[in-house]
Amino acid sequence: MQVQTINVEIKKTLEILGVNLINDGTSTGSENFSNGEIIESISPVDGHLIAKVKSTSAADYEQVITTATEAFKIWRTVPAPKRGDIVRQFGNKLRQRKEALGKLVSYEMGKSYQEGLGEVQEMIDICDFAVGLSRQLHGLTMHSERPGHRMYEQYHPLGVVGVISAFNFPVAVWAWNVALAWVCGDVCVWKPSEKVPLCGVACQKIAAEVFAENNLPEGISSLINGDYKVGEFMSKDSRIPLISATGSIRMGKIVAKEVAGRLGKSLLELGGNNAIIVTPDADIKMTVVGAVFGAVGTAGQRCTSTRRLIIHESIYEKVKQALVDAYGQLRIGNPLDENNHVGPLIDKEAVNMYKAALNKVVEEGGSIIVQGGVLSGNDYQSGCYVKPAIAEAKPDFEIVQHETFAPILYLLKYSGDVENAIAIQNNVVQGLSSAIMTNNLREAERFLSVAGSDCGIANVNIGTSGAEIGGAFGGEKETGGGRESGSDAWKVYMRRQTNTINYTTELPLAQGIKFDL
């Protein structure tokens, strides 16, 4: 493929975000610092080269960690509400540049412009959440068994937090982590996916503005670019007490092993194989909307994308026909054109995995009822545009057990009561998001009960994707068990300390132990 020159509109977008290009197309912010290899950011939208970014060498990495460690000594002493005000300022800058950052997300990653804007809005929302949280980092007080003693618990910042993010949410997942980590008093070192490095550069530029305007050290927010080798620097580094990693199960197992080997902490958000159960009491119209968006949104490249639709046999044909009709209305094309529903996959490797999955389901005895395929022509010159496909399959097919990051929806049939559907849903190694479509209260409550969905997220009458920041986000089993964003997810970014204060002139021991001198 011949790489062409970036268009004027995107260059202007980068300038708005403070990402200026030098003569060879390298983004500013890396050329004066890094000695690493060149990473080319190529848009899946049109196959054009956007810019080049230098990756982080081992020597560069050492300087970054040293800078971050020194910044932590200052940042941790700033009162939490003051740290919250810094995050508020960051959120306001995101509001000012929402359209530009949303456009860059769409162009560099390939998701629709509306989804790009939505991702930036998630960043703004988590900043708002974190501002309030900065005045609520509370501990507990408890009664001591010893007279004249007081006990309490408090939380302190961990130190340097490492964030490894994936291409599919190139900015929001980083913001989920840093907004909470910053108000907790941590500093952050971020390695974005090498497939979307410019989104990382843009976010770092915005954050750096805020810290500079407040005369705070730049090491509170640090960016390192590169492939898995840079991630290895972080995973093995005992100076980073917490690694928050988002990506594949394979990647997560490697990170978890390395971090556990040095007794560090890891927050893992890994793969999903998400299902919607459709019972005889489901609203079919709602089901179709939820399933289609869940399956084709972000071209099926969300960890919460709907992969499996588990439909009761009594309404199976009706739901299937409604889905086929809905897929016939999908418009595939440039994601910056808001008339289109589906943009491209991230790269040719993703296209190959998509094709292999469709071949595999047929080999196992399934049938394709909405045909897939790779689109070609002037509007699809990147070679990354594919048709969303629907396949009829069985729950025990090997391909159905795996997550394919592409717009492929498997239809599975169940009979009997909802327990059978729940058993099918739970019979995969992933445990991120799940949903049931039903107007039957008993079915809904059964799905949410202790013997129901085994996922970290369980929804009723909405799809599997589209989580709000107020709730903790994450999954169970091989999804990793991590929790980010809302609720009490902030606690993972802090260390817990129990304190006992004796305000008497005596020194009684716990459990009534006598030790007289």
Q: Are 307 and 406 in contact (CB under 8 A)?
A: no
Q: Six-digit token pair at 187?
A: 């500093």
Q: What is the pLDDT of residue 23?
A: 55
pLDDT interval class at 467 (50, 70, 90):
confident
pLDDT above 50: residue 514: yes
DSSP string, 144-183: -SSTTEEEEEEEEE-SEEEEE--SSSTTHHHHHHHHHHHH
pLDDT interval class at 8 (50, 70, 90):
confident
Mean pLDDT of 430-454: 98
Q: pLDDT, tens digit, for every residue of 138-169?
A: 999 999 999 999 999 999 999 999 999 999 99
pLDDT interval class at 4 (50, 70, 90):
very low
Q: pLDDT, tens digit, for every residue of 360-383?
A: 999 999 999 999 999 999 999 999
Distance CA 145, CA 89 (A): 46
Residue type at 456? G
**Residue 35 CB neighbour total at 10 angstroms:** 11
Mean pLDDT of 171-199: 98
Strands (E), 193-273: 221-223, 242-246, 265-269
Given 3-state DSSP classes, what are the helix, strand and coil percentages for the chain, each rounded to the nearest 5?
A: 40, 20, 40
DSSP string, 63-104: HHHHHHHHHHHHHTTS-HHHHHHHHHHHHHHHHHTHHHHHHH
Contacts of residue 162, Cβ cutoff 8 Å, sequence gap at least 6:
188, 189, 190, 191, 234, 235, 237, 240, 242, 243, 244
pLDDT interval class at 3 (50, 70, 90):
very low
- Choosing from 108, 115, 194, 269, the catalytic residue is 269
Classify domain 8-139+156-270+483-496 at the CATH topology level. Answer: Aldehyde Dehydrogenase; Chain A, domain 1 (3.40.605)
Q: What is the pLDDT of residue 26?
A: 60
Q: What is the pLDDT of residue 21?
A: 77
* Superfamily of segment(s) 274-476: Aldehyde Dehydrogenase; Chain A, domain 2 (3.40.309.10)
484 catalytic per annotation: no
303 catalytic per annotation: yes
Mean pLDDT of 43-59: 95
- Choosing from 303, 384, 455, 478, the catalytic residue is 303
pLDDT above 60: residue 67: yes
Q: Are 224 and 56 in contact (CB under 8 A)?
A: yes
What percent of the chain clears pLDDT 90, i.e. is strictly above it?
Answer: 93
Distance CA 204, CA 346 (A): 22
Q: What is the pLDDT of residue 516?
A: 85
Distance CA 36, CA 55 (A): 5
Q: Six-digit token pair at 188?
A: 């952050």
pLDDT, averaged across the chain: 95
**Residue 7 CB neighbour total at 10 angstroms:** 14
Distance CA 343, CA 115 (A): 11
pLDDT interval class at 34 (50, 70, 90):
low
Distance CA 312, CA 430 (A): 22
Q: What is the pLDDT of residue 30?
A: 44
Distance CA 307, CA 429 (A): 14
Distance CA 385, CA 463 (A): 24
Q: Six-digit token pair at 497?
A: 């300390």
pLDDT above 60: residue 28: no
Distance CA 44, CA 69 (A): 37
Burial of 211 (0-12, 13-18, 19+ CB in 10 A): buried
Residue spans of the domains in the chain: they are: 8-139+156-270+483-496, 274-476
DSSP alpha helix (H) spans, 389-503: 418-426, 441-448
Give this prediction's pTM. 0.95
Q: What is the pLDDT of residue 33?
A: 55
The larger pLDDT score, comparing residue 24 to residue 42, is at 42
Q: What is the pLDDT of residue 25?
A: 58
pLDDT interval class at 27 (50, 70, 90):
low
